[in-house]
Structure 1
Amino acid sequence: MHVLVVHNRYGSAQPSGENRVVDQEVRLLRGAGHRVEVFERRSDDIAARSLAGRAAVPLLVPWNPAVRAELAGRLRAARPDVVHVHNVFPLLSPAVLAACADADVPAVATLHNYTQICPPGTLRRAGRQCTECVGSSPLPAVRHGCYRGSRLATVPLAVSLAVNRRRWWSGVTRFLCISAAQRDVLVRSGMPAERIAVKHNFVPEPGDVRTADGEHLLFLGRLAEAKGVRPLMDAWDQIAADGGVGVPLVLAGAGPLEREVRAWAAGRDDVRYAGLYGLRECRRAVARAVAVVVPSLALETFGLVVAEAMAAGVPALAAGHAAFGELVEDGVTGLLHRPGDPDSLAADLRRITSDPARNREMGRAARRRYERGFGPEYGLRRLEEEYRTAIAGRSVPTPGGDTRRGRGEGDSG
């Protein structure tokens, strides 16, 4: 197949799992012999714009007419079989869907977060879960300044959600959720269930697989409140007060709590703050872990680090909500604790380190789970299936024998 991938790349200041997923899918498809082109913008490029250009960026969030014209022209010239849309914020905008309709090319969209129903896409506000905008107007998000704590910064996202909601629903032939938990939330919000499929992210073979019992517990991710960093620190302090569990806790990442984490870890033998790892360092650290700890408080749509741990034959200790419940089989491939509960987390940290033989068996079960449902073969098969479905749905025969646009074809307005 001939596929054109559309993606606005997130800034490089923080590692982006979404950027990584897009790059891995492109390599996977090309390796299987498909022709794949990429139409992208980079958030890093905003800084190089003139002052006026930077000031104009928020105006492009709801609609970028130049992108529509450029992409439509490229689609007409290249004639791909399908367009795969990922992130369109802030420089691409939902105008990419109009371009697909202009050129009569079916669009598949992977939903990596909740931006279809929540302006910042997180379903969180002021450190807790929030669904105030779900199924209604996004005005509460503006009132609360949900994006970056700023009402002004939230306005373009809220406007885009309000004016483009129906365009998304009519202009995308197939929506791909990355977990069943995410799909359930979106369907309950009113999105068209018949066009939403579940396609878990895949993880490439890591090269590093655990061969010993492990030498540390590992937190690998953004150092932010929503990722459960503070409950993890509280749980670890409980464990330390009782004499520890025999291995240190390693925290790798960056984010708004970095200074707090660095100060907490300073001078301790049982904690190490490792800073920001590169991809190779991440894989080595995962393969040397007793378990990967994922105490997120957010309603995560997936859990890439959990899948990466499974690929390395390492169990995960994750919060028992959102997508983690379908990634981790409690007591078999890892453990699930009560979200935000340091006592529950501390108990499971002790449990996962106290029985090396049981831990090794969970690691082997995690690796089998990866091979069945999160490896490259799975990823390629599911992409091909959804592309074929979208292509087949572009034209639907009418009873009189003519063809009309199938469900999901958008207008060109």
Structure 2
Amino acid sequence: MHVLVVHNRYSSAQPSGENRVVDEEVGLLRAAGHRVETFERRSDDIAGRSLLGKVAVPLLVPWNPAVRTELAARLRAERPDVVHVHNVFPLLSPAVLAACADVGVPVVATLHNYTQVCPPGTLHREGKPCHECVGSPLSVPAVRHGCYRDSRLATVPLALSLAVNRRRWWSGVERFFCISGAQRDVLVRSGMPSERLAVKHNFVPEPGVRREGGGEHLLFLGRLAEAKGVPLLMAAWDEIAAGGGIGVPLVLAGAGPLEKEVTDWAAGRDDVRYVGLYDPAQCREAVARSVAVVAPSMARETFGLVAAEAMAAGVPAVAARHGAFVELVEDGETGLLHEPGDASSLASCLRRIAADPDRNRELGLAARRRYEQYFSPAVGLERLLEGYRSAIAERSGDGAGPSPVGNGNTGPLRGTRAGRDGGSR
């Protein structure tokens, strides 16, 4: 199969799980013998633009006519079987969909977040879930609250793009890949066409290292931000420390707006280590040495990559009981779920996960089996190709209808406990 991947790469200043997913899917397809090329823009390039060029960037968010012309020319020259769209903000814009329509190439799009119904894509504001813009055609609340970067001005281009391009997205994409059933539920309730929304969970590459023994620390791995539950984790850990601790330290790896607070909080403590930003190899090693990986997100995550990475290494996760984590983590079987936003509930789960090494090993082995069944590269490749074939058949008018990956259910976890409980992180 000949695939053209369209993606606006996020800034390298903040490591992006979405960039990783795109690169890993490209590598997976190429390793399987498929021809894959990319059409990209890089947010890093904005810094090198002239002052006028920088000023013009917000104007290109809703529509970039030069991208439409450039991509259409490339499509006519190369004639890929399918175009796979990921992120188009801020330099590509939904003009990529018009280019595909101009040439008649079928389109699939992975929805890595909630930008189809929420300008910043988080469904989270001021420490709480927010659905004010879901179902609203103009996203006025997002502008009023300045939801993107706490700026009304910066939010306007996103809200405008969503308003003027909503129908273009919904009619110009043959198949949307939702990365969890929880995400799909929200989007269906917002009015998106359910028949075009398929669940295709992210896959996780084999880590090359798995846990041996019981682990030596609890690990938070991710962006140091309120939405990721960092203040909640700090409060829970202080509660644990006040009760005498649990015998293993907490390691925090990452970067973000709360880095100074985390650094100050960890300073001088034997039970906490802040290690900064790890490279990919260091991340894999740290996960494999963990008693458990902690994902206390306040936002309703669309997937929860760190939990799947823990599964691959045979490590249980402690995660918030909402969003995609309810699908990924089987409570009491492959990890533990705590009540979202509840520091005492999180502290209780952390005590339980560390209290019984034998039970912890059982959870880790079950987590690895779940990874092999649902999140391995082989499963990821199969479902990716199913979605491509379904999109191609729909564009060609073969009447094949949705493939199993796009059957309107919550994907491979339907029928398991996680599939039944997964809802709308």
For 2:186 and 2:398, the matched residues in 1 are separated by: 32
Corresponding residue for 1:184? 185
Q: CA deviation at 1:397?
A: 6.1
Corresponding residue for 1:380? 381
**Is 2:120 aligned against 1:120?**
yes
Unaligned runs of 5+ in 1: 399-413
For 2:202 and 2:195, the matched residues in 1 are separated by: 20
Question: Percent of aligned positions with the same letter in both sequences?
Answer: 79
| 1:113-168 Cα distance to aligned partner (Å, 9 max, x none) | 00000011111122211111111121111111110000110010010000000000
For 2:237 and 2:57, the matched residues in 1 are separated by: 43
Corresponding residue for 1:231? 232
* SS of residue paired to 1:122: coil
Corresponding residue for 2:418? none
Corresponding residue for 1:391? 392
Corresponding residue for 2:153? 152
Structure 1 counterpart of 2:30, one-letter code: R
Corresponding residue for 2:369? 368
Corresponding residue for 1:44? 44
Residues 9-158 of structure 1: matches in 2 within 5 Å? 9-136=9-136, 137-158=138-159
For 2:223 and 2:362, the matched residues in 1 are separated by: 29
Structure 2 counterpart of 1:379, one-letter code: G
Structure 2 counterpart of 1:307, one-letter code: A
Query: Where has structure 1 moved over 6 Å in runs of 4 or more?
Result: none
Corresponding residue for 1:345? 346
For 1:371 and 1:76, the matched residues in 2 are separated by: 40
Corresponding residue for 1:278? 279
* SS of residue paired to 1:393: helix
Q: CA deviation at 1:220?
A: 0.3
Unaligned runs of 5+ in 2: 400-425
TM-score (norm 2): 0.93
Corresponding residue for 1:220? 221
* SS of residue paired to 1:314: coil
* SS of residue paired to 2:251: strand
Corresponding residue for 1:209? 210
For 2:264 and 2:126, the matched residues in 1 are separated by: 24
Structure 2 counterpart of 1:203, one-letter code: V
Corresponding residue for 1:253? 254
For 1:352 and 1:282, the matched residues in 2 are separated by: 21
| 1:325-370 Cα distance to aligned partner (Å, 9 max, x none) | 0000000000000011011011110000000000000000000000
* SS of residue paired to 2:397: strand
| 1:16-52 Cα distance to aligned partner (Å, 9 max, x none) | 0000000000000000000000000000000000000
Q: CA deviation at 1:395?
A: 2.4
For 2:278 and 2:286, the matched residues in 1 are separated by: 9
TM-score (norm 1): 0.96
For 1:126 and 1:206, the matched residues in 2 are separated by: 35
Structure 2 counterpart of 1:174, one-letter code: R
Structure 2 counterpart of 1:63, one-letter code: W
Corresponding residue for 2:407? none
Higher deviation after alignment, 186-195 or 133-142: 133-142
Q: How many residues align?
A: 398
